[in-house]
């Protein structure tokens, strides 16, 4: 249990400085009076009850989280029952599918806004309502920076989507339908109707995309109640855990249990291993590295390869598997996966978690209830499910999920029959997604089944926020011939609901001088998975000459800023491998002091 030596008393509550501060009677009265004007009582504010903020991420603009508007009523009940006072406040909306140019642009903006609220208002603790992709990392980054007692409440995934007896998974179905539309199998109206089948209820994406991955990571880190991450949004257990989260948020204040007690290096290592076993989103390394940096812990993509690559895939959930998150929850959810990993000698079981108990205590006896949905460690879906961190003469870091490389891909790209890990391909280069859409079907590009499609100008500077566009579809003509995927390489991201075998997040990106800016269509690349390398097959002198030409021409060009925030973010943002954080923000720690 939590170390009682740290317990605090009512007069040590942070909120007292605002609401019960005889040394500053004027400012205290000014703080109190406006809360009374909507019916709060003096006693609620001045009698030493913890004030608990509820960061409301749901709104009409963020439908994946919108049910938090209802759910927080149970959070407030729990806070009241435990002797606290709830204060709900809005977060900047982030909706993955709708926000243009991309939702990731707003992760750092929501983070900054939340930091200011948690720093500047009389809050003793906070409940962080999460769901849609970037809402979870934004909340956890802010919790790490401010370091007041904080607990995550996921809104939970949608129920399973179905059509004609088949599961229909969020996002994943869109990638499939796009190919069928391109091949002429379905028309636009059917495309839309079938896509809508994937969203049968309230909640976030029901695949193991970025939303399910990041909420599972919040639980794996120890920042949400055990077993809570993947309760489907409409289930009664979702409202129950909302109540318990409210209760726990008050207890945490008295225990003075802070994010810095939980977000340790060991906790992040646990998150990496769990992410691999889940077949988690390729966005997870970006966000987990960012949360770690705000917690003062250096975590990089070498850590992801070292700790995660060997971990087998245990969660049989789309896009890597066949089931959806409702079945994953019913089979035991995140605790069942962690039980398997712990049984195999992985995970740091001794770490402290949000309920005051260790991870090992939390997962005890929580075995898989369906061994097809959550596999036993000895019977995984894939042996090595984590990311490789590739390097070479074009970038310092790029991620690849090797478990999705198909036998067909190996046959088409193998360069040396004696080396099963070395592949050669000729590149066709696109500058951003508009260029790709405009030209992909142009026969003059000469794209064939041995082409590697390259997307550059899609990192956080080239495309504000970093575009999820690296998983490019082959030209229609090739799809009609049966070539449904080509390997892709890029300095942007790809959707967590896509299972494409792409080389992603190449850092540094072309827009800040990264080597992808030097590529030309027709170049040959060697992808050597044994050595962990991607190399452009030209000699060093030619590479140097290209670099000089690029510099002389003023560097790689990218579109102008459209808003003030785009300019601020692009000026300060770090590469994807460093979490796409704002560097100056990562030095702030423990800013909750008055």
Instruction: Give the shortest CB-281-to-Mg ion separation in angstroms.
Output: 8
- Residues 450-469 as x/- pattern, contact with Mg ion by CB under 5 A: ------------------x-
The H-or-E segment that residue 154 falls in is strand 150-154
The residue among 94 and 486 lying less far from ligand FES, judged by its C-beta, is 94
Query: What is the secondary structure of 163-222 as a DSSP string?
Result: ETTEEE-TTHHHHHHHHHHHTTSS-HHHHHHHHHTT--SSSB-SSSSHHHHHHHHHHHHT
> Rounded CA gap, 415 and 429, in Å?
21
Determine the interface stretch with ligand FES among 202-210, 433-441, 527-535, 546-554 (rule: CB under 6 A). 202-210
170 binds, among ligand FES, Mg ion, none (CB under 5 to 8 A by kind): ligand FES
CB of 170 to ligand FES, least distance (A): 6
Among positions 77-116, residues that touch ligand FES (CB under 6 A) are 96-97
- How many angstroms separate the CA atoms of 341 and 369, rounded? 15
Question: Judged by CB under 5 A, does residue 102 bind Mg ion?
Answer: no
211 binds, among Mg ion, ligand FES, none (CB under 5 to 8 A by kind): ligand FES
Residues numbered 148 to 167 that lie near Mg ion (CB under 5 A) are: none
Position 211 contacts ligand FES (CB under 6 A): yes
Closer residue to Mg ion, CB minimum distance, 96 or 523:
96
Distance separating alpha carbons of residues 112 and 585, to the nearest angstrom? 9
161-200: which residues touch ligand FES (CB under 6 A)? 170
User: Cβ 419 to ligand FES, closest distance in Å?
Assistant: 39
Least gap, CB of 239 to ligand FES (angstroms) = 20
Beta partners for residue 52, in sequence order: 86, 125
Helix (H) or strand (E) holding 410: helix 407-413
Residue 213 sits in the site that holds ligand FES (CB under 6 A): no
Cβ pair 109, 186 in contact under 8 A: no
482: Cβ contacts below 8 Å, ≥ 6 apart: none
For Mg ion, the closer CB: 147 or 495: 495
305 binds Mg ion (CB under 5 A): no
Query: Which of Mg ion, ligand FES, none does residue 326 bind (CB under 5 to 8 Å by kind)?
Result: none
Torsion of CA 107, 108, 111, 115, to 10 degrees: -170
Q: Which of 65, 471, 495, 507 binds Mg ion (CB under 5 A)?
A: 495
CA distance 110 to 119: 14
How many residues interact with Mg ion (rule CB under 5 A)? 3
Residue 447 binds to ligand FES (criterion: CB under 6 A): no
Our finding on whether 64 is near ligand FES (CB under 6 A) is yes
Backbone φ and ψ for 151, nearest 5 degrees, come out as -135, 140
Q: Which stretch binds ligand FES (CB under 6 A): 188-196, 205-213, 296-304, 425-433?
A: 205-213
Residue 4 half-sphere exposure toward CB, CA atoms < 13 A: 0
Q: Which does 495 bind (CB under 5 to 8 A by kind): Mg ion, ligand FES, none?
A: Mg ion
For 85, 207, 245, 253, the CA distances from 51, given in Å and listed in that order, are 5, 36, 15, 9
- DSSP summary character for residue 591: T
The answer to whether residue 586 forms part of the interface with Mg ion (CB under 5 A) is: no
- Binding site residues, ligand FES, CB under 6 A: 64, 96-97, 132-133, 170, 204-205, 209, 211
- Binding site residues, Mg ion, CB under 5 A: 96, 468, 495
């Amino acid at each position: 249990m939590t170390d009682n030596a740290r317990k605090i008393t009512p007069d040590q509550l942070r909120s007292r400085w605002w609401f019960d501060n005889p040394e500053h009677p004027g400012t205290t009265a000014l703080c109190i009076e406006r809360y009374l004007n909507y019916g709060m009582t003096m006693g609620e504010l001045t009698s030493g009850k913890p004030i608990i903020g509820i960061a409301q991420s749901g709104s009409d603009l963020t439908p994946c989280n919108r049910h938090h508007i209802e759910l927080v009523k149970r959070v407030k009940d729990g806070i009241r029952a435990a002797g606290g006072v709830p204060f709900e406040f809005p977060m900047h909306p982030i909706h993955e599918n709708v926000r243009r140019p991309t939702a990731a642009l707003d992760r750092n903006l929501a983070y900054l806004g939340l930091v200011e609220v948690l720093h500047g208002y009389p809050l003793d603790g906070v409940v962080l309502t999460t769901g849609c992709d970037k809402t979870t990392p934004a909340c956890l980054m802010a919790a790490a920076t401010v370091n007041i007692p904080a607990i995550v409440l996921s809104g939970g995934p949608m129920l399973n989507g179905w059509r004609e007896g088949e599961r229909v998974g969020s996002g994943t179905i869109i990638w499939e339908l796009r190919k069928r539309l391109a091949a002429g199998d379905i028309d636009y109206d059917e495309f839309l109707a079938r896509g809508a089948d994937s969203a049968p209820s309230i909640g976030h994406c029901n695949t193991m995309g970025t939303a399910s991955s990041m909420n599972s990571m919040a639980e794996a880190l120890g920042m949400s109640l055990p077993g809570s991450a993947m309760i489907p949004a409409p289930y009664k257990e979702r409202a129950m855990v909302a109540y318990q989260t409210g209760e726990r948020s008050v207890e945490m204040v008295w225990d003075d249990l802070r994010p810095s007690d939980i977000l340790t290096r060991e906790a992040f290592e646990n998150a990496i291993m769990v992410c691999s076993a889940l077949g988690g989103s390729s966005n997870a390394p970006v966000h987990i590295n960012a949360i770690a940096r705000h917690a003062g812990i250096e975590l990089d993509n070498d850590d992801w390869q070292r700790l995660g690559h060997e971990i087998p895939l245990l969660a049989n959930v789309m896009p890597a598997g066949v089931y959806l998150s409702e079945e994953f929850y019913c089979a035991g959810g995140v605790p069942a996966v962690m039980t398997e990993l712990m049984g195999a000698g992985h995970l740091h079981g001794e770490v402290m978690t949000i309920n005051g108990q260790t991870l090992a205590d939390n997962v005890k006896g929580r075995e898989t209830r369906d061994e097809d949905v959550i596999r036993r460690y000895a019977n995984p879906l894939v042996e090595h499910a984590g990311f490789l961190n590739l390097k070479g003469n074009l970038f310092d870091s790029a991620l690849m999920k090797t478990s999705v490389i198909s036998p067909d891909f190996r046959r088409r790209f193998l360069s040396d029959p004696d080396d099963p890990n070395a592949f050669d391909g000729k590149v066709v280069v696109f500058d951003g997604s508009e260029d790709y859409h405009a030209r992909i079907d142009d026969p003059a590009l000469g794209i064939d089944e041995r082409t590697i499609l390259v997307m550059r100008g899609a990192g956080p500077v080239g495309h504000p926020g970093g575009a999820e566009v690296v998983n490019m579809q082959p030209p229609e003509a090739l799809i009609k011939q049966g070539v449904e995927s080509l390997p892709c390489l890029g300095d942007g991201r790809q959707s967590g609901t896509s299972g494409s075998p792409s080389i992603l997040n190449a850092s540094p990106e072309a827009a800040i001088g990264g080597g992808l800016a030097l590529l030309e269509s027709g170049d040959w690349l060697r992808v050597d998975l044994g050595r962990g390398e991607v190399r452009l097959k030209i000699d060093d002198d030619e590479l140097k000459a290209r670099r000089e030409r690029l510099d002389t021409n003023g560097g790689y060009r990218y579109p102008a800023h459209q808003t003030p925030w785009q300019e601020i973010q692009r000026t300060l943002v770090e590469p994807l491998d460093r979490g796409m954080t704002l560097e100056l923000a990562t030095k702030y720690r423990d800013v909750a002091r008055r």
